[in-house]
Structure 1
């Protein structure tokens, strides 16, 4: 099959904005959003996934890698490259920078929970977690020993995973992180510590707390983990450092961006039972996408799994057909690409007269109870688990947080019993089966004795 010629489009700052309203065209279902470190007049650009035409440009500064996020479909966020603040735009007001979220240091990564309630950012080795509706800083997590390089929420917003330059990936339960007892620092649910060099990227699959997580590292490996148990499921060794990783929607394949510009498609359906493997092309569906001339910094897959998007330090974003492994479109940028993602088009993006349903509050820089961040007049502050309940007899009882944990454990136990069976019921069932086996053995012996008597009876 002949290779189709790449189509090159330039994301120029002077590119006209295509307005969907009044142009006899429907708003796209999926869009490409990308940014690079070289543009000066615009920050990130929106392209049509199928035509490659430029739709919108958001101006003001430059975005750092792994900091582009859409919040509640109303706001676009990205951390300023090398600075200590996050830029915020209303999704439909592309030409006006609305707000800046000031942080205590240079922001290294940003992620928003899919339910739109929480925003997390990596600042040096710390993770800052805000409640979006109030702007309050709920927690500052200091369990990494070096800079946090990537953050991702699960699709049900119940957990988030952080990867750092200390070679560690940490799994955090949101329930334990947002508890407001400031005397106790939350602990990660799991510590994924099998990498030997800094983690460069991570991706989280579907199914919430039962999802699989893939981590990429400079140690030339991709590791796949089970989120619920923290168990290592698979480790794939490559010949180059891996800079980016993503699943396809069905999680049949991993797409891994290398430091040499190649993109490796690693099959997760291999017949091999070995947990540690080496990548070999043309084995069990393993393939290589060739076209970039520098490291691949970001990867994303369309909802139907037929298109792969990649951004590179060679100043291009490429769109690939996953079946033929051919590059079908090339979007040229003005600097190394820092973010490139395929996402569903937010409903308000192409409606200039729309406004966010809930305005974004001012984000706090201090934890609750810190100086300069007290409770406003008339505001009620509920702190679960901060104080213990006292019974009428004066005896200390469980805190609300302890009761919530106990209830959660009980619910999980009930789920486990319904799936795997209750331990006591299992013992009773085993005893019944053993008794039935003994009865069958006795019947068999009686039949044998009766048959023997008939055969040996003199005629």
Structure 2
């Protein structure tokens, strides 16, 4: 199949539509109805299906190209606040801090566990690892093989942020995160590397895959901060808080959203075009390669099957289709046991750090 550039998929809080459009021309190619998005990472594309959790209820809509209304719907155990797809997997985070993993091919919910004590705000999947960020100011890294075996102990746990994490990007084994504590932080090779502070709470972060240490963050002051080789440039974009930053797949454009979507030059910050069809604050924003024809089936894969709940009573008694291995302590997972044993203390320390940060803000800024 021939691909011509890329297209953007976007939603907003006060507009019950999903829009698909081209950044160079702002041409609207398709739209879908009956969706309510309240969270940043509330759309994902799997095979030829757009999967859209509904922010106001425990419900997921499934859209196929060529149909405006949802083709299917399914309920979830909790309201989903972040979702991502990878190969055969769908990973979702909830407003209560749980993670749910299900199989795209069967639609069966395989695993559910609770690594956070507050809303999951961002998810990433890289080869061999699940990574989640939360309003509890922590980032958790899980080995996929361990989760599939029924072991939910984190491979790494980062708690350098002092306030809710709002966004996260991953490049190789490097993690980039931003927070309401006015900082963005970088972790390399699973270790904390460095941090920088700006003048406002941050909402969005994006990183270039083309090297040269290019990093973009944005927040409540309507500015984009461009960090290049540890030098920070500031671009004035809008008077409203910026909710999202996304580089298009070929990095020809940088997209920054408020109640509009600004198409920017990623090198200079110059505004090239403005997509202004949304009726409220833009929430979700991501890019996919543009298929050559939107009038026929977009991709050739089989459609996603809806999520099936397999319960035997309460949500914590999920029945799996395979025998879960019993997790036995040994020398290799001793570090994971220590992390789990100290989870209550980590939570208490995060709360203390939050209080200290607020005192610092009140008296030092």
Query: Residue in 1 aligned with 2:246?
Result: 300
- Would you say the 8 A contact 2:291–2:298 is kept in 1? no
- Would you say the 8 A contact 1:200–1:242 is kept in 2? yes
Whether 1:218 aligns to 2:188 is: no
**Given the two structures, how large is their TM-score scaled by the length of structure 2?**
0.82
**Given the two structures, how large is their TM-score scaled by the length of structure 1?**
0.66
Report the 3-state secondary structure (helix = DSSP H, G, I; strand = E; otherwise coil) of the residue aligned with 1:175.
helix
- Would you say the 8 A contact 2:66–2:297 is kept in 1? no
1:202 to 1:385, Cα distance in 2 relative to 1, 3 A: same
User: Which of residues 165, 174, 177 in structure 2 aligns to 1:199?
Assistant: 165
Query: Residue in 1 aligned with 2:74?
Result: 101
Report the 3-state secondary structure (helix = DSSP H, G, I; strand = E; otherwise coil) of the residue aligned with 1:51.
coil
Counterpart Cα distance in 2 of 1:27 and 1:132: 24
Report the 3-state secondary structure (helix = DSSP H, G, I; strand = E; otherwise coil) of the residue aligned with 2:15.
coil
1:84 to 1:144, Cα distance in 2 relative to 1, 3 A: same
Counterpart Cα distance in 2 of 1:220 and 1:354: 41
- Would you say the 8 A contact 2:88–2:103 is kept in 1? no
- What is the deviation of 1:304? 3.2
- Would you say the 8 A contact 2:35–2:52 is kept in 1? no
- Would you say the 8 A contact 1:306–1:323 is kept in 2? no
Counterpart Cα distance in 1 of 2:279 and 2:300: 31
- What is the deviation of 1:238? 0.8
- Would you say the 8 A contact 1:216–1:244 is kept in 2? yes
CA deviation profile, 1:186-233 (whole Å, cap 9, x unmatched): 11110010111111111111x3xxx2111111110000112x43x111
User: Which of residues 192, 197, 217 in structure 2 aligns to 1:232?
Assistant: 192
Counterpart Cα distance in 1 of 2:297 and 2:157: 46
CA deviation profile, 1:263-315 (whole Å, cap 9, x unmatched): 11012x24xxxxxxxxxxxxx3x222212221111111123333101111xx1
- What is the deviation of 1:353? 4.8
- What is the deviation of 1:85? 1.1
Whether 1:50 aligns to 2:11 is: no
The equivalences for 1:24-173 within 5 A come to 28-40=4-16, 43-64=17-38, 65-72=40-47, 74-90=48-64, 92-113=65-86, 115-154=87-126, 156=127, 158-173=128-143
Report the 3-state secondary structure (helix = DSSP H, G, I; strand = E; otherwise coil) of the residue aligned with 1:296.
coil
- Would you say the 8 A contact 1:246–1:256 is kept in 2? yes
- What is the deviation of 1:58? 1.1
Gap runs ≥5 in structure 1: 1-25, 271-283, 376-380, 388-398, 407-459
Aligned pairs, how many?
A: 327
- What is the deviation of 1:386? 4.7
- Would you say the 8 A contact 1:89–1:96 is kept in 2? yes
- Would you say the 8 A contact 1:104–1:123 is kept in 2? no
Counterpart Cα distance in 1 of 2:167 and 2:299: 34
- What is the deviation of 1:355? 7.1
Whether 1:322 aligns to 2:259 is: no
Gap runs ≥5 in structure 2: 334-365
Report the 3-state secondary structure (helix = DSSP H, G, I; strand = E; otherwise coil) of the residue aligned with 2:288.
strand
- What is the deviation of 1:145? 1.4
- Would you say the 8 A contact 1:119–1:132 is kept in 2? no
1:344 to 1:383, Cα distance in 2 relative to 1, 3 A: same
- Would you say the 8 A contact 1:122–1:151 is kept in 2? no
Counterpart Cα distance in 2 of 1:266 and 1:63: 30
Query: Residue in 2 aligned with 1:255?
Result: 216
Report the 3-state secondary structure (helix = DSSP H, G, I; strand = E; otherwise coil) of the residue aligned with 1:118.
strand
- What is the deviation of 1:367? 6.1
1:111 to 1:367, Cα distance in 2 relative to 1, 3 A: farther
- What is the deviation of 1:358? 2.2
1:138 to 1:238, Cα distance in 2 relative to 1, 3 A: same
- What is the deviation of 1:45? 0.6
- Would you say the 8 A contact 1:320–1:326 is kept in 2? yes
- What is the deviation of 1:86? 1.5
- What is the deviation of 1:373? 7.3
CA deviation profile, 1:122-149 (whole Å, cap 9, x unmatched): 2421111111112221211212111211
